[in-house]
Chain A
Amino acid sequence: MVDDSQNHSHLVPRRFSRRSFVRAMLTAGALGAGAAVLFEVASQRSVVTPNVVPPRLDPQLRSTLAAAQALVLPSEPNAPGSSEVGATDYLEMALGDPRVDEDDKRTVLVGAEQLGSKAHERFGTHFAALPLAKQTELLNEHSRDDDGREWLSVLVVFTLEALLSDPVYGGNREGAGWRWLGVSASVPRPAAPWQVALAKKAP
C-alpha cells in the first residue's frame, strides 16, 4: 500500500480490505441475497445523481449494523453515541457513495451478515435483540481473527466518519459529535454532499 503522506500525514490507510477473502465470500454465495443485491445497487449508483437517495439496507442487516456501531460508540448521558449522531444513516449514505472503496462496502456488509448468522446459530435470535453482554461477547469473538479485525476496522472508520463529518452526510446530527469533542467546524461548510455539489459541474 502506498504511503499516502501527500500534503500531510494520514496515519491510517484509507482502505483495509482483504480483497481475496471478500471476493471469495461474495462468489461463494455466502452473502444473504439482500446484501448482495444491495451491494450491486450501491456500486451502480451514478455520480450524477441530483438527489442522493441512499439504497435502503435490509432491515435485519441494518439493525445488526446499528447494534455493532453502538458497541463501537455507546451512548452515555454526557457524551453522544452512534445512535444520537445517526451513524447508521451515515453508513447507508456512504454505501451509496461511488467514491467509497467498493471492497470496504463489501467488507462491512459481509462481516455484519456473518455476525447476524452467528447470533442466530448460537442464540436463535437477531443480533440486535441480544442483551449487550452477549452482543459484546459475539463481537469480540467475531473480530478476533484477521478478517474479523478487518471488518471491525472498517466499521470503526465508518462510525468515526459518522461522528465528525458534516451533517449533510447523514451523521453528526446537529453537530452533536463536534460539540462533544469541542471541535469548531472549519468554514465554509459544505451546502450539500459532494455528489450533489459536483454534479452541477460535470459535463
Chain B
Amino acid sequence: MNTDFDVCIIGSGAAGGAVAAALSAAGRSVVVLEKGPWLHDSDFSKDEIAASRRGVYAPDRKSEPQVVETYDDDGWNARPTPGTGWDFWNGSMVGGASNLMSGFFHRMKPDDFRLRSALPPIDGADIADWPIGYDDLEPWYTHVEQAVGISGRVTSHPLADRRSTKDFPYPPLTENPLAKHIDETCQQMGLHSVPVPRAVLSVPQKGRGSCSYTGLCGEYGCATGAKGSSRAALLSSALATGRCQVRANCMVRRILLGPSGKITGVEYMDPTGQIARVDARIYVVACQAIETARLLLASAGPQHPAGLANKSGMVGRNLLFSTAAWAKATLPLPKQSPEIRQALEAKLPWINRAVQDFYFFTDDVTGQKRKGGTIEFMLSPPNPISQALSAAFSGEDGPLYGLPLKRRLEKSFATERHLVFEVFADWLPHKDCHVTLDPSVKDKWGLPVARVRVGKHPHNKKVADFLLARGVEILTRLGGEDIIKSSRGAPATNLVAGTCRFGDDPKASVLDKDCRAHDVDNLFVADASFMPTAGSIPPTWTVYANAFRIARTILGQLGG
C-alpha cells in the first residue's frame, strides 16, 4: 500500500513521542502532527511571569476556548472557559505537557489495574477493571527508566513495586537534608517515607544535560535537557533515525474514514493556514484525553455518526482527573535546630518523598477496604512572586499593603521556608463527567470546541480529606506552623485521562487491550484516554509505559 508514511501520530506529548521513538527505531516511517510550536531547550527560561503567572505554554483560551459545564442551583450550565477560572489546557508544543511536568514518577500498583474486582463497589461510580495487569506493564515501566531517564533508588517498604531490575539506571538526585528528617519523623509515626523517582537525569546522558537544581520543574520547560519530556528524551532519538518527521504548528481538523471502514487520511491546517492532508497505514491519536475525544467526535461521518470509533457511545465518557488537595506549612528558620536550619537555607530544592501508607485504608463507617492515595512532600518551589502573594494575602480581610506588607515580605523571605504536600486521590468515573462537542462555540480555526462537563462523585473529596488530614499530622509533627489547607474535591486539570477507555467488551469500551479502536482497525489511541481508572498518582510513567507497549502491537500490525 502506498501511503505517505507507515504511521501518522497526532499529538507529540508523552504517548506520541514514545510511539514515534519506538516505531522509527524499528525502521518504520513516522510523521507526528503537533498543533503547538516547536520550542527547544534553549527557548526555556525560568521566567515566572511567562511560565507560572501567564501560562504562556498553554493555548490562549480567548482564541482556543473550551466550554465548561458545572452544576449550579438551576442545573447544568455551560460557559466558554475564558473568564470562568476554569482551564483544561496544558502545554501545547512539541513534547506537549511533558515539557512542563514536575516529573515525580510512580508506577501503578497491581490492584490499581483491578479496582472493580479488588474492592467493594461505590454507588454511582462506573469503575471498570483494566484488561491488562501490572505484569503486562512491568517490562515497559522498566523500559521507560532507560528510554526517558528515571533517577532514583529502590527501598524496601510494604507497597514496594515488584521490579524486574534491581535499581534505577540513574542515581537519585541530590536531596535536601530535610528529606532525612522527614524519613525519621515518619518512622517515629509508624509510617514509611519513600524516595520518589524522578524523570530527571542526575548525570548527563545521550546528549542531554543533567539537573541544574533550580527547583523549578513544574510549569517550566527544562533548559538543560535533564527533564524526561518526550521532546528531549524520545523525539530527539526518533528524529535522529531520519525516519521521523515532526510537523509543528499543524492543527488536525478531521480524521477521514474510507468506505472500507479504515482511515484513509488526516486533514490538518498547516502553519500558513492552508488545509493539507497526509496519509499513513496506521494512525495514532494522542492529544490528551479531552482533545482526543474532541477529535474523534468531530470526525463523525456516515459510517460513524456518533463520532469516529464511537459505536459504543463511550467516546468522551468517564473523563478522569486526579482529585487535588494540598497543604502548606511554614518552617520558621529561627525555631529550627541548627542542622535543620542549615538544610533549609541550603539551595537544594529536592525532597522527593511520598507516603503511601494510606494507599488503601479501612472506611471507619462501613469497615470496608477503600482505595486511598499518595501524599507527596516538597519544598515550596522558588517562585518569588508566588511567595510574595502568599505573604500579602495571608490574612482573612483582603491584602496587606504599605509598610505592614513590606515587613511581612521581609519576614517571609528572610526567616521562613515552606513545606508543602500534594494529595493524589482517584477521580471516580462518573456519568456526568464527560466530553462532548459544543454545538456553537468554535476556535480560531473555526472548529467546534470540546465541552467538558465536570460532574464529581462525593467520594473523591472524602478520600482527599482523609489523606489531607494524614498529611497534616505529619507536617505538624515536623514542626510546621500556620498550616494552610485546601481540599475542594476539585480536579487537577493537568492530570487528565479517561474518555476512550480500553476493555474487552466493544459495547462498554472504545479500545481493545492494545489500545486499538474496536471499530476501526487502523486507529490507536495512545494517550491517557485509554484508562478506565486513572489511579492516585501522577499517571505519566504509566502513559509512557503503555505507549511503548502498544507500539509493539502497532509494529506487529505493520508486519515487522
Contact = CB atoms under 8 A, between A and B. Distances in A.
Interface of A: 1-15, 19, 47, 71-74, 76, 79, 97-103, 136, 143, 149, 152-153, 156-157, 160-161, 163-166, 168-169, 178, 181-191, 193-194, 197-198, 201-203
Given A8-B422, A156-B399, A157-B389, A3 B45 contact: no
Given A2-B86, A74-B403, A165 B49 contact: yes
Contacts of A201: 37-39, 43
A74 B409 CA distance: 13
B389 A190 contact: no
B60 A98 contact: yes
Given A3-B324, A8-B422, A9-B326, A143 B56 contact: no
Contacts of B326: 5, 9
A164 B388 contact: yes
Interface of B: 37-39, 43-50, 53-56, 60, 62, 83, 85-87, 100-102, 212, 214-219, 223, 249, 271-273, 324-326, 328, 347, 378, 380-382, 384-386, 388-390, 392-393, 398-403, 405-406, 409-410, 413-414, 420, 422, 484, 486, 488, 490-494
Contact of A166 (B49, B85, B494): B49
Contacts of A11: 328, 386, 389-390, 393, 484
Contact of B398 (A9, A79, A149, A160): A149
A188 B392 contact: no
15 contacts: A6-B324, A6-B494, A8-B420, A9-B326, A72-B402, A98-B60, A103-B83, A149-B398, A160-B392, A187-B214, A188-B45, A191-B45, A197-B43, A201-B37, A203-B249
Contacts of B325: 5
B85 A6 contact: no
Contact of A161 (B43, B55, B385): B385
A132 B408 CA distance: 22
Nearest to B82: A102
A149 to B, nearest CB: 5
A202 B490 contact: no
Contact of A186 (B271, B382, B390): B382
A152 B217 CA distance: 32
Contact of B490 (A3, A163, A188, A203): A3
A8 B401 CA distance: 26
Contact of B102 (A8, A72, A100, A189): A8
Contact of A194 (B50, B381, B393): B50
Nearest to B47: A190
B386 A197 contact: no
Contacts of B399: 152-153, 156
Given A6-B493, A6-B494, A186-B215, 20 more contacts: A5-B325, A7-B100, A7-B219, A8-B381, A8-B420, A12-B390, A71-B402, A74-B402, A76-B406, A101-B83, A136-B402, A156-B400, A165-B53, A169-B49, A178-B384, A182-B414, A184-B347, A188-B44, A197-B50, A201-B37
Nearest to A149: B398
A165 B55 CA distance: 14
B380 A9 contact: yes
Nearest to A6: B494
A169 B273 CA distance: 31
Q: What does DSSP make chain A's interface, helix, strand, loop or mixed? A: loop
A180 B292 CA distance: 48
Nearest to A43: B62
A172 to B, nearest CB: 10
Nearest to B490: A3
Nearest to B397: A149
The 10 tightest CB contacts between A and B, nearest first, are: A7-B218, A203-B271, A3-B490, A186-B46, A194-B50, A1-B85, A201-B37, A190-B47, A99-B54, A203-B249
Contacts of B405: 72-73, 156
A72 B494 CA distance: 34
Contact of B406 (A79, A194, A202, A203): A79
B272 A99 contact: no
Interface centre among B53, B101, B271, B328 (most CB of A within 10 A): B53
Contacts of B60: 47, 98-99
Nearest to A81: B406
Given A9-B380, A72-B402, A194-B56, A188 B46 contact: yes
Contacts of A190: 45, 47, 50
Nearest to B407: A79
Given A198-B37, A202-B249, A7 B102 contact: yes
A9 B414 CA distance: 21
Contacts of A168: 47
A183 B382 CA distance: 9
Contacts of B494: 6-7
A12 B388 CA distance: 10
Given A13-B85, A72-B405, A74-B402, A3 B488 contact: yes
Contacts of A156: 392-393, 399-401, 405
A140 B390 CA distance: 21
Given A6-B218, A7-B494, A152 B401 contact: yes
Contact of B385 (A149, A165, A198): A165
Contact of B410 (A1, A99, A161, A181): A181
Nearest to B103: A7
A153 B406 contact: no
